[in-house]
Amino acid sequence: MERTIIVGGGHGGAQAAVSLRQEGYEGEIVLVSDEAHLPYHKPPLSKTFLKAGGAAQLLRPESFYTDNAVELKLETRVAEIDRRAGLVRCDDGAAIEFSSLILATGASARRPPIAGADLENVFVLRNMSDAERMRAEADDASEIVIIGGGFIGLELAHTLVGLGKQVKVVEMGQRLLARSVAPVISAYVLDRLFAADIDVRLGAEVRGLEQAGARAAAVTLAGGERLGADMVVLGTGAVPSTGLAEAAGLAVDNGIVVDHAMRTADPRIFALGDVASFTHWQWQKPARLECVQNANDQARHAAKAITGKETDYRDVSWFWSDQGSTKLQMAGLSMASDRTILSGSPENDDLAVYHFDRDRLVCVETVNRPGEHMLARRLLAAGITPSEADIADGKDALKALLGGPAQGRSA
Ligand SMILES: Cc1cc2nc3c(=O)[nH]c(=O)nc-3n(C[C@H](O)[C@H](O)[C@H](O)COP(=O)(O)OP(=O)(O)OC[C@H]3O[C@@H](n4cnc5c(N)ncnc54)[C@H](O)[C@@H]3O)c2cc1C
């Protein structure tokens, strides 16, 4: 019996089913998802979904799963992996044997230990049910406080202010997105929030939520300030959903530990996407990335490994975030960066930050420069490092580097 079970119907899980068939896999594929919906696009949930109404956009139409013999078990949770018996047990009582198992269980919202964080008008945003609940509540809310200034919280701030709400963001750090972007971009993002009439408190510690019956009425800060709220959103990050793997004795260290082909120490079991911890080729240290690119590309590599065409995961990481009308895009990893070059200017709403590790290009962050983002991805994939003059000359010079011989600039 050849059967691959995929646990999790998010971006990575759905792509794994697609890629397995594309790689010619002829065994059975069973995709088990605890959500009620067919796999859908998550990024719009903090952007257009709240505004536009209607249903989420599906990753693939329903016919894809029937045409490709992918059995979907929705609203079903895998409760246990029995490695000795080579099967998973689901919460509906089913026990399903596997020859290969893919864990694409993603991440769940981090709930900080704040008094009142479980009150009924306190929300997190990880999936469509969260977004639907939030949309219903937001209709009647006028004052909304978002705790945490990460990508999702800030996207939501723009979306909710666009719906006519008064929005405040409370961030503990001294700058926004401090672990993800260069200071000049943090400052630009802050400026855009202010320009949209969003109140942002940096260096602000939340003491607790003031309770009125079963609801939060305000967020109180360590300094004593009270921010009135009829809706509170926790945008305080995510934790990888590693419970199944841990219980099955697989190595977990800020994510399920996998090798270059997304395989755990058990050769039948793979993990990918938000839940996987792997050695990133650029950084040479364990990394866990929360972005669509990583989930999709890792799914492609897992499918190759399962079909006997093992490859190294060395794809260029990339990510985007829409902050109101601002398009932020990142290619590569900035963790290894020790030097940056700025191109463009915040005043013109058009800039890029090139990050270098010694002489090697490792990451490019762009604001409203989608064309340059695409070029950056190609430069990183080809191992080409542009000079300061190339960067100053802009897109044509970068294109020329890709078109012609790299002439001493290859890293
Ligand atoms: C609101 C929001 C906005 C985002 N915006 C962007 C963006 O702009 N750009 C970008 O690159 N990325 C964005 N992301 C991140 C991106 O969506 C994730 O990185 C991506 O979804 C990861 O895919 P995944 O398959 O690893 O996990 P997920 O897509 O989260 O899927 C995991 C699935 O597994 C299910 N599951 C977990 N445990 C079990 C179990 N035991 N049994 C059955 N099912 C289980 C979960 O319910 C979930 O459906 C955003 C995420 C969110 C939540």
Domain range summary for the chain, segments of one domain joined by +: 3-108+239-306, 111-236, 325-403
Write down how long the chain is. 411
Does 101 score more than 60 pLDDT? yes
Fold exhibited by the domain 325-403 = Enolase-like; domain 1 (3.30.390)
- Tell whether ligand 1 has an atom less than 6 A from the beta carbon of residue 104: yes
What does CATH list as the number for 111-236?
3.50.50.60
Fold exhibited by the domain 3-108+239-306 = FAD/NAD(P)-binding domain (3.50.50)
DSSP code of residue 252: B
- Express each pLDDT in 275-329 by its tens digit: 999 999 998 999 999 999 999 999 999 999 999 999 999 999 999 999 999 999 9
- Express each pLDDT in 211-245 by its tens digit: 999 999 999 999 999 999 999 999 999 999 999 99
Do 111-236 and 3-108+239-306 have the same topology in CATH?
yes
- Express each pLDDT in 322-379 by its tens digit: 999 999 999 999 988 899 999 999 999 999 999 999 999 999 999 999 999 999 999 9
pLDDT band at 409 (very low <50, low <70, confident <90, very high): very low
Average pLDDT on 390-394 reads 95
pTM here? 0.96
The confidence score (pLDDT) of residue 41 equals 97
How far is 313 from 299, CA to CA, in rounded Å? 10
Would you call 11 helix, strand, or coil by DSSP?
helix
- Tell whether ligand 1 has an atom less than 6 A from the beta carbon of residue 283: no
C-alpha of residue 231 to centroid of ligand 1, in Å: 24
- Express each pLDDT in 157-181 by its tens digit: 999 999 999 999 999 999 999 989 9
- Tell whether ligand 1 has an atom less than 6 A from the beta carbon of residue 317: no
Does 405 score more than 50 pLDDT? no
C-alpha of residue 38 to centroid of ligand 1, in Å: 13
**Structure-token pair, residue 279:** 């050695």
Residue 28: exposed, middle, or buried by beta-carbon count in 10 A (0-12, 13-18, 19+)? Answer: middle
Would you call 279 helix, strand, or coil by DSSP?
strand
For the CA of 107, the closest atom of ligand 1 is 30
> Measured at the alpha carbon of residue 395, what is the angle toward residues 358 and 182, in degrees to the nearest 5?
45
The confidence score (pLDDT) of residue 54 equals 77
Does 105 score more than 70 pLDDT? yes
How far is 342 from 352, CA to CA, in rounded Å? 6
How far is 121 from 215, CA to CA, in rounded Å? 6
pLDDT band at 404 (very low <50, low <70, confident <90, very high): low
